[in-house]
Amino acid sequence: MQPLSRQFKQRATIAIKDANLQAALGKAKEGFVGKRAAAIAELPEFEQLREEAKAIKDHTLANLDFYLERYEAQVKKYGGHVHWAKTAEDAQRIVLDICRKANAKTVTKGKSMVSEECGINEVLEAAGMEVVETDLGEYIIQLAHEPPSHIIAPAVHKTKAQVSDLFHTHHAKFGLTRRLTEVADLVNEARQVLRKQFFRADVGITGGNFLVAETGSSIIVTNEGNGDLTQTLARVHIVTSGIERVVPTLDDATTFLRLLARSATGQETETYTTISTGPRRSGDLDGPEEYHVVLVDNGRSRMLGGQFRDMLRCIRCGACMNHCPVYGAIGGHAYGWVYPGPMGSVLTPLFTGLDVAYDLPNACTLNGRCQSVCPVKIPLPDLLRELRHRQYEEKITPAYQRLALSAWAFLAKRPRLYHAVMRIPVGVLGWFGRGRGSFASLPLASAWTRSREMPAPQGKTFQQAWRERMENRDERRT
């Protein structure tokens, strides 16, 4: 997917004015935040689990080459294939090759953000294959021809009425013409449509929440069971996953499973947790004939050696965006690429360019709530500030901002001059502001006064008032 992050500001403004989006976001925010808090309140060792999870990831990332090779060896041992994709284009080519060799006409997909990142659907469709997203949210946005707006709830921006319209339009060809208004009816209809696709599918593509080096297994968690049907009913199963998703042992994976469900949806565990190890063995009742894993780098190994390694701990739970005031105000599409919210504001500039995604690290109040809910303790605000630093160093930060900052810093480094200069505007605004208390508009302050009054200063700077008080006291003494 081509990043549209350069239009962040315009897209954000449109999002704020979109009544449907705002209604959907308001509902989602309440659900995610409240459910997570309740689930965590019932788990006294949650903080300890976060520490453990962070330690496991840090250890794994420090030895990533070893664990990846171990994982590859184990996958092969159980009859699977491992493919290494250095770039998104490599991943596209590898997946397309596998699908072509399988003579695929229909490809079903469980949810995979890496596949979104690499633009897999577009490539398969261009080659004449029918690609069917089977996660309900992904299915909805596929019908709407939209990218996901949230990493675990891709259609969170859609209202029930909008989904009803989409199904009414797109399901008529299956003879389903009744307009549905109840959530349960909508889910049932989607299930009815998708069930046929599962049986027709030649290839099933899923993501991988965790890859286990010990056993060569891939683990997926879903709430709809669509992942299971995708990977067991098709002849060929392809797992697309980032290289950072490997964990050493099954035991380690369970630590993350306990954190993931609670952080993501406030569940103790997701409805389906499925561990896949290789293709169907003789005697197995079901399972694919071929099992492929596409390990995607696409910029990750570059992050491994630098200050952004912490970001590779991310387990894609979405808690950061669920608790982000900016995401809550504008939703995911404004960010303009695959990953929105705080984690996306770190990843998008690193994957697509510091200039392309200039706004993303800057459109953040550094309030830190994301870090405080992150199950693997990623210091997201620090990483965002480090990205701002790189933008500043590479002169991507706009010239007028750099100039204003330099002028301010020049004064701030010269206290005597600073205090002498600052008295003037404070005195003038204080004098004019006495009777009114605040200003509805001020020169050079339109960005503030567009939506807020500017409270008037009290008339003297504190330094000025303090010195006067000290002098008066000294005079009284003498």
Partner 1 sequence: MTDAATTAPVRKPRVGLFATCLMDLFRPSVGFAAVKLLQDAGCSVEVPSAQTCCGQPALNSGDFADTRDIARQVIETFAGYDYVVGPSGSCMATIKNDYPQLFVDDAEWRLKALDLSRRSYELLSFLTDVLGVREVTASFSATATYHDSCSGLRGLGIKAQPRALLAGVKGLSLIEMDDSEVCCGFGGTFCVKYPDISQKIVSDKVANIQASGADTLLGGDLGCLLNMAGRLKRLGNPVRVYHTAEVLAGMADQAALGDPEK
Nearer CB in complex with partner 1: 99/373: 373
| Residue among 199, 216, 196 at smallest CA distance from 208 | 216
Nearer CB in complex with partner 1: 97/393: 393
CA distance 280 to 232: 9
Nearer CB in complex with partner 1: 54/235: 54
Nearer CB in complex with partner 1: 238/363: 363
Nearer CB in complex with partner 1: 104/350: 350
For 80, which DSSP code?
-
Q: What are phi and psi of 33, to 5 degrees?
A: -65, -45
Q: Give the H or E element holding residue 109.
A: strand 106-109
Least separation in angstroms between CB 8 and partner 1: 9
Q: Give the H or E element holding residue 82.
A: strand 81-85
Binding site for partner 1 (CB under 8 A): 9, 12-13, 16, 325-326, 328-330, 359, 362-369, 371-372, 385, 387-393, 397, 401-402, 405-406, 408-409, 411-413, 415-416, 418-419, 422, 426, 434-438, 440, 445, 447-448, 450-458, 460-463, 465-467
Least separation in angstroms between CB 12 and partner 1: 6
Nearer CB in complex with partner 1: 38/409: 409
Give the chain's end-to-end CA distance (angstroms, integer). Answer: 77
Least separation in angstroms between CB 436 and partner 1: 6
107 and 81 Cβ atoms separated by less than 8 Å? no
For residues 30, 36, 42 and 48, what is the CA-based torsion angle, rounded to 10 degrees?
-150
Least separation in angstroms between CB 324 and partner 1: 9
Least separation in angstroms between CB 153 and partner 1: 20
| Residue among 129, 158, 95, 79 at smallest CA distance from 333 | 158
DSSP code per residue over 356-376? TTTHHHHS-----HHHHH-TT
CA distance 430 to 167: 60
Least separation in angstroms between CB 369 and partner 1: 7
CA distance 334 to 303: 25
Nearer CB in complex with partner 1: 282/406: 406
Nearer CB in complex with partner 1: 34/188: 34
352 and 5 Cβ atoms separated by less than 8 Å? yes
DSSP code per residue over 267-302? -SS-SEEEEE-SSPPTT-SS--SEEEEEEE-TTHHH
Nearer CB in complex with partner 1: 64/456: 456
Nearer CB in complex with partner 1: 93/419: 419
Least separation in angstroms between CB 360 and partner 1: 11
Least separation in angstroms between CB 21 and partner 1: 11
Say how many C-beta atoms besides its own lie within 10 A of residue 261's C-beta: 21
Nearer CB in complex with partner 1: 248/318: 318
- Six token digits for residue 427: 């005195």
CA distance 170 to 441: 51
Least separation in angstroms between CB 13 and partner 1: 5
Nearer CB in complex with partner 1: 35/460: 460
Least separation in angstroms between CB 236 and partner 1: 44
Beta strands in 134-277 (DSSP E): 203-206, 210-212, 217-222, 236-242, 246-247, 272-276
Amino acid at 382: D
For 272, residues 6+ apart whose C-beta sits below 8 A from its C-beta are 220, 221, 222, 223, 224, 225, 227, 228
CA distance 287 to 362: 47
CA distance 236 to 231: 8
CA distance 416 to 463: 11
Least separation in angstroms between CB 273 and partner 1: 32
Least separation in angstroms between CB 219 and partner 1: 32
CA distance 61 to 69: 13
